[in-house]
Amino acid sequence: MQAGDLPCPSCKRPLPREASAVAALTACPACGEALEVIPFPALGQGPRTGLAAEPLSIAGDAACFQHPSKKAIVPCDACGRFLCALCDLEVDGSHLCPACLESGRKRGTVSQLERSRVRWDRITIGLNVLVLVCAFLAPVSAIANTVITIMQWRKPQSRVAPSRAWLLGSTLLSWVLALGLATVAWVEWFNPDGAE
């Protein structure tokens, strides 16, 4: 099999490479297994390269604001400047020029360009470390960790760490610490001398 071949799920032999031939299949040609294939539209096309900026061919064509010798293909949705294929930056269906994208990033108006995210799992771990320094904060830490975990459970996770697992583990640890310290305090309160 070569890269890009679509294998039969049963016998693993490659199916035909043409998208129209794959879509027409009802059974594997090699093993006869029944198939329902819905190919992705780009099947067999290979990787696509980015668009190259076209030079101006007709004197009346619109030119790119940044590259006057290149043909404009779309206006910027924010400022209206004409953009060539090199300058066109598509963000969530909008076409922006590099300057508007940068100013939108600085002002925070382009929400799709998230550069940082609060790691709530690390905050809960920090609360547990705080309990080790000040034991009387254990109940507050356990409650705060539980609230944070509930509020952040369905929010997007970090792309670099399994934050839900850390949130849950840290919250469980905070309750273990709180209950353990409460048990020690209870035993010391009712048995201050250590007498049995």
Mean pLDDT of the chain: 79
Residue 115 CB partners (closer than 8 Å, separation 6+)? 105
Its domain, for residue 40, covers 1-47
Q: Determine the average pLDDT of the residues in 135-145.
A: 89
In this prediction, residue 3 carries a pLDDT of 45
- pTM equals 0.42
Instruction: Report the domain count for the chain.
Output: 3
Q: How confident is the model at residue 1 (pLDDT cuts 50, 70, 90)?
A: very low
- Average pLDDT score over residue span 24-37: 82
My answer on whether 60 and 26 are in the same domain is no
- Whether 107 maps to a domain, the answer reads yes
Does residue 108 lie in a domain region?
yes
- Is residue 195 a part of any domain in this protein? no
Q: Is residue 6 located within the same domain as residue 25?
A: yes
Per-position b or e across 46-57, b if 16+ CB within 10 A of its CB: eeeeeeebeebe
Whether residues 183 and 127 share a domain: the answer is yes
**Is 54 in the same domain as 40?**
no
* Same-domain status, 16 and 58: no
